[in-house]
Structure 1
């Protein structure tokens, strides 16, 4: 209450003649006190101030009254179940100048290669990223990881920091169960794709890679809705296969190298099939073989079948999937090696180059495709080195094949150069016997 609101009071003061004169003066406001809401029932009923002493307040003790308090403390008002205009991030992230380089590198070079010819898709994702903090961190993490493979500075700590933030913020976003609007779905799928591709640039990221791929297939249907207006409508299987087919020029007669690679790969897979015990191992390896069979004559069909491969992981139960990715499960390790290697068997330069000739490259000429494939080779080599001795014979062909792969990191060269080339003639004789028994 302000001074103007205080009423005037009259005070009688005797003057020198002995008469009393009324003098108006402003009252002295009394010192206020905190209004108690937690006092005892007796003081509340008497409308007096309670000092809230426990177990007996001062007023009740002085007057020898029965002092009683509320048995449970008053609960705080419950937050509303919904709010209007709820911000996507309550705690804005702090970014550094270096992050601008990661963001630029992502938009120009490091964005995922799916969907095919997806540069416009990822430009659209970049334009909406300021509304979703988890998406921004996923993009920065992928940009940092890819740049780290091309730059001596590494950026490993920055890439890992952004990855951890993206995962935490993504989990928080999914737990809110916000309406499955098209932007929300696009942001979530874009984030998990960035995290998946970032895994492919991490030396020990293979398990994360498989988990994230499984998450992509689980997340999409779980969010529901119509994907026709989504930035990622190119992921519809029919659209994907049609796009890849258009990128491929008509194949000529199978080359001797194609047939030799295909023959060795299928023989290696058949040997591993004799070890499979679980249904997951059998089904995945059978699909891998089915993908590879038409590699020498019908690549379009290979890519159609390959679009089902990682979807198979989402069809496994949690227990089946955990068993499948268990590092101590050596049979499943052999199956995973063939999963990773089949892409080399069906890969051709024309598909990658036709789809990527618009994509910028780093100053040293290294490209996005070779980085990812180079890491897959490292994963296979690492798994082979960790196999128990009794399983090593089943990896001999794969070991010879991946050790013969060459990555020049330029678009002019083939995506893979298996075995040795001598004056234009493929030398495969020393490898034909591997894995055929």
Structure 2
């Protein structure tokens, strides 16, 4: 018996929900197998001794709020995508990442205390995703790129906004504990004092729950951050700044010695079990050249021991500094070197294949500290041994081999800064890459290209309504426009759309990007562009037959131009050929001026100019596009050749389509266009470097 319409509709909604739920559950199971050592399950013991407690918490709450679900799934899909070399999964991970960022931004003003905890979970997971994103490269031992540090600053701002009283209990307190050590790592690596060392932050959040071994170790690291900051200031002083150095040095020795006493007490008390287990494992490794089998609790304790030795390395280097040391320099240096040696030995404990991505979390900060100390103190051999050990571990499970056609697209995907700063840029890059592969390869990615293009344009339009406030996001928006414009030059019927998108880019450049000098695209100013042209232009021999024919064709259109902006545009086209009679550089600069001309039209003027019924303007525009190839042989070195001819083919198709649809009164204006397209089609002529 068939169900009634009233029962069928809800089922259609429920089915995808259950399917997605089952799919997510499956991927989460795969993810935990990647994160944690093989066969071991996350538990409270992980949170007690390591920095992986955030995953224990996210396991518990991700189904309760999309604030947690999206960043967790970004981690899940990113880690699995990297492990298996699945491009589509990486794309989905970046999509989840973008949605997570938007949800987090929208939730900032939410006063719900429970959601405060979820916001902090989301922030920590987003930072974790930056750490994961680097596990594929040789630079994985750096704690993320600048975006990792930006996430840490964001987490610190969230903590500061609510104060210690906001993190006394519940999820907010638990995730505060998990976020603390990475925040302190970031402060230490930047030689900055952390607010987490203030008395309120050391006391109030723990007014309900007792501190665990890693919390007490975190307190010591928090107390060290002002010492590290002051030493960095001392090291930055000039030789003659004696008084400033003396003022900064006051109390430094006392603070450092107090940290040493606290660290020694921790080693004898709260950390004694972890250090004893680590010492036992190190002894076995040294004698048997292999690591013993371990439980997840053992791994977590070994992780804590690595953190302890990293802090020892930093502290004993501080104690050996002339501003602090007194008469105990040799003892401090010996202790720092021993801590580095312990780190190097215990690294081998994590080298087994089953350890999974836990290895990255366990070794990242300690290895940075140890390698930095050894390199600065002339022990390159130990640094090399450490690097060899770590990189071998990172490369044990390379991504599966990909299809040849996918490689260029994956090259775009691995551009670190761009795909994370903006979801619209990610879609723009993927759309351009898919179109490029379709035009120049043996595979058809047309549907994927258009899908990403539509999403990118939608997101760009949203950002026009709410312009980005920071320079990174503004740069990402501008980069997305460049990708969309370049993709448009590879699409049929894209001439008017190309003009629209490039005009949008000019508006972003003028009104959205706050400071051109600090922008990644600082070389895109008119002045910088003109200077760059003088470096790349080649003064090639001139044969004016084609340029003269081009000029005559434009002058046939000139009498048909009855609007001031059309006349101006026509004159700028003519100026390029007149400039060529002076020099190739003059012609190219005139072409750049022509290429920007439509960007200065007001909205009504521009709409009238690109109207498909405005045949004089349409003919002028196609002459502008063909001018790339008319000028190319005279401005670009003869050693250069077109490597990817799709753009040329598309512009020829635009030209022929226009000539075919103009009314009879305009047919004569298309005669040279048709003749030149036939010549261009069979030639391998050079072109200007226009997007």
Whether 2:637 is the aligned partner of 1:348: answer no
Q: Secondary structure at the residue paired with 1:166? A: helix
Output the CA distance in 2 between the equivalents of 1:279 and 1:273.
11
Match of 2:458 in 1: 168
- CA 1:98 to 1:323, structure 2 compared with 1: closer, same or farther past 3 Å? farther
Q: Which residue of 2 aligns with 1:322?
A: 607
Distance 1:174 1:153, change over 3 A: same
The 1:106/1:313 distance shift into structure 2, 3 A limit, reads farther
- Of residues 632, 645, 662 in structure 2, which corresponds to 1:387? 662
* Contact 1:102 1:144 (8 Å CA) reproduced: no
> Size of the alignment, in residue pairs?
300
Supply the distance in 2 between the matched residues of 1:98 and 1:305 (Cα, whole angstroms).
47
Provide, for residues 218-259 of structure 1, a one-character-per-residue CA deviation record: whole Å limited to 9, x for no partner.
11111142211222112122222222222233434x2xxx31
- Unaligned stretches of 5+ residues in structure 2: 1-105, 112-118, 130-399
2:490 maps to what in 1?
201
Q: Which residue of the partner structure matches residue 681 of structure 2?
A: 406
Alignment match, 1:75 = none
Distance (whole Å) between structure 2 residues aligned to residue 324 and residue 176 of structure 1: 28
What does 1:38-49 align with in structure 2 at a 5 Å threshold?
none
Name the CA shift for 1:280/1:184 in 2 (closer, same or farther; >3 Å): same
Q: CA RMSD in A?
A: 3.3
The structure with more helix, counted as a fraction of residues: 2
CA distance in structure 2 between the partners assigned to 1:104 and 1:301 by the alignment = 39
The answer (yes or no) to whether the contact 1:292–1:345 under 8 Å persists in 2 is no
Q: Could you tell me how far 1:260 is from its partner in structure 2?
A: 0.6
**Contact kept? 1:137, 1:165, Cα under 8 Å:** yes
Q: Report what 2:624 is aligned to.
A: 339
Q: Aligned partners of 2:496, 2:401: CA distance in 1, in Å?
A: 29
Kindly indicate whether structure 1 or structure 2 has the higher relative contact order, using CA contacts under 8 Å at least 6 residues apart.
1
The CA distance in 1 between the partners of 2:405 and 2:495, in whole Å, is 23
Distance 1:165 1:335, change over 3 A: same
Normalised TM-score (structure 1): 0.61
- State the TM-score, normalizing by the size of structure 2: 0.40
- Asked if structure 1 preserves the Cα contact closer than 8 Å seen for 2:489 and 2:650, the reply is yes
**Could you tell me which residue of structure 1 aligns to residue 431 of structure 2?**
141
CA distance in 1, matches of 2:637, 2:436: 18
> 2:573 maps to which residue?
288
Partners of 1:218 and 1:382 lie apart in 2 by 30
Task: State the alpha-carbon separation in 2 of the partners of residues 98 and 212 from structure 1.
Answer: 37
The alignment status of 1:105 with 2:408, answered yes or no, reads yes
Runs of at least 4 residues off by over 3 Å: 78-87, 97-104, 249-252
Whole-angstrom CA distance in 2 between matches of 1:376 and 1:226: 35
* Counterpart contact for 1:325–1:333, Cα < 8 Å: yes
Alpha-carbon distance in structure 2 between the residues aligned to 1:103 and 1:175: 35
- Kindly state the Cα deviation for residue 296 of structure 1 after the two structures are TM-superposed: 4.8
What is the deviation of 1:132?
1.4
Contact 1:266–1:292 (Cα < 8 Å) also in 2? yes
Residue of structure 2 in register with 1:153 after alignment: 443
